Every structure is written in C-alpha cells, then in structure tokens.
Structure 1
C-alpha cells in the first residue's frame, strides 16, 4: 500500500516510528498511485490543514492527539473516514486504519464518535495538555500503574510520577482516579 504522509514537524518522529510496517510504502509526493493520504498533527484541525488543495477527502486518515467537535465535523464533511489518536495507535493499528481507509471503510475513537453524534461533550473548559500528558492519561485510564506507563512510553518511572503530579494540578484532581474522571468529563480521554 502506498501512503502519502503530510505531518506537522512536532509529530514527525512519532509518525515515522508508527509507519514502520512491512506493508506500507511512504512517499512525501502526491502521485497518482497513492492509495491513502495520512495527515498528522497535534490537533485534528492542524492535521487536516495539511491536506493538499484539491485532494478529494476520500481515503484520508487523520492522526492527532486532540479532536474537537468542530474539527472532526470539518474533516468528516470533507470525506475523512478514519481518525486515530496518537496515544492509542500502534504501528499495526495504524496499518489497519490505512487499509480500512483504502478499502473505503472508516474508524474513529469512541469518544470522538459520541461527541460527533451530539452525545455528552465536554462540560467545562479543558486545560491545555501536552502530548505526554495525554499519553499518560490514556494509559492511566486503561489501568496501567506507573511502571507500566513508563515501559509503554519508554521513559523513567520518575518522569511518569512528575507527569501525574502535573496532571493533578492541571485537572484540579485529588488523585489519579479523579484525574482520569476529570479528563473524561472534559472530553480529553
């Protein structure tokens, strides 16, 4: 499968790591034989803005950290069918998402779909979180302890503890469980 990748500079290293899959050939040029366009950025708006003018929108995969309701609606209206979150995407998951898009299917995170369909969205103003904050939050929500989070993110346990402390302050939370609950309430995870 041939993929044209348009990636914001802040996401380049992470996307390069995710695109290491034997069935994916990556090109920077839009050629006639490209199967799927991958756009990646911190937010869905930033990622989708990288889509070249004139690209029909079909067969577009959006990879981002943050999905606002408006940004998702704009991407979906323009034909994007597959939206993936950095924190929960592995190389195999990305390859499957690219294949799904190539075949005309689509996928997106459950919470993004709920917000898109008008379900309960964020009830307050969400603090601005870094990619590291969001990754740790997602793993905490999955029940990972500090050591497992550190292994998953290839960092030290000390770094994870510092990020958790920052999250407690940013989310005005009493403990890890409360931080995850606040993140869910605000639509961050």
Structure 2
C-alpha cells in the first residue's frame, strides 16, 4: 500500500514537472540554452554591404558572442584578430535576419537606409544557433506585451524598408547589365579604326 502511494506520488510529481516545463516561455528556454558554456561564441566570416552598394565587402574572420545582462541580451560581432567590435545587435536594433545555407544575413534598418551583414558560420548547427541568438537578442518582448499594434507596425516597417532596398538594388543591377549589353552591341557594330583609315 505504501509502495503504491509512493509510485502515485512520483507519477504526479513527474506530470507536474512536465506541465511546468511546457508552461515555460520559449524565449526563457532559449535564454537558458544560450547561457550554456560553449553556446555564446561562434566563429564566423564577416561580410558587409553598405547602403547604396550592390557588392559585399569582406571584413575578415570574427566571433559572434551572445552577452546576457539580466533580462536583456545582445549579440556582439568582433574581429577574431584584434577583438575590435564591428557591430552589435540588441532589442533596440531594427533588423531582419534570415538563413541562407551556412550564412545568416542580417538587414539593419537605419532610417530609410539598410546596412546588411553576412555571417558565415562553420556548419549548419552553428548557423541555426547564430540565427537563434540574433532573433532572441532583437526580439522586442516589451513592445509585444505592452503594445502589440506598435510591435506589428515596427515589424512591417522593417520589412518594407528592406524590400524597397532590395528592389532598388535589383533595378540598379538590371540597368548596369543593360548598359553593358548596349555598349557591347555598339562596339561590335563599329568598324575597326584601321580598316576605315585604309579605305579613306
């Protein structure tokens, strides 16, 4: 009888632990995972595309670090050789991050300008961890809970500015390709200078 009561008490305790675990917000679980040793620092190759530029510039090898302070966290990208801070992403950052292969591409909105960062991790696991770090650090939880409409408005504005920046870049590239094609056709249609001089 006593054994049955012990087993039932154990089962109730186990179920209660499962329910408690399921009720923990995902952001809290991610924060706890991010604080585990070895999770915070991820080696990356860093490229930047500055506003009104269509090409990427290679900055070098860096380290992406997840720094937690109380309820807030941020992702800091530093040079692996000099430890110089290249950029920081936090709750105040207006960013959109997406995974492309082993790259995490982060579009940072500053007014109507967009600075893009490309972080190339070593493998798919590091890429997923890096994406989770950025999303967790930049997740505006306070705005979402206090003013959901403002949160949605901010997200839509970020998406709109990044979409417009992408449209402009594609248009510039298309115009450049058209100019190159036109120049090539013009050059082919022109008679060689030496031949025209001989004829005259």
TM-score, L = length of structure 1: 0.22
So what's the TM-score if we normalise by structure 2? 0.21
Going by fraction, where is strand more abundant, 1 or 2? 2
Q: Greater CA radius of gyration, 1 or 2?
A: 2
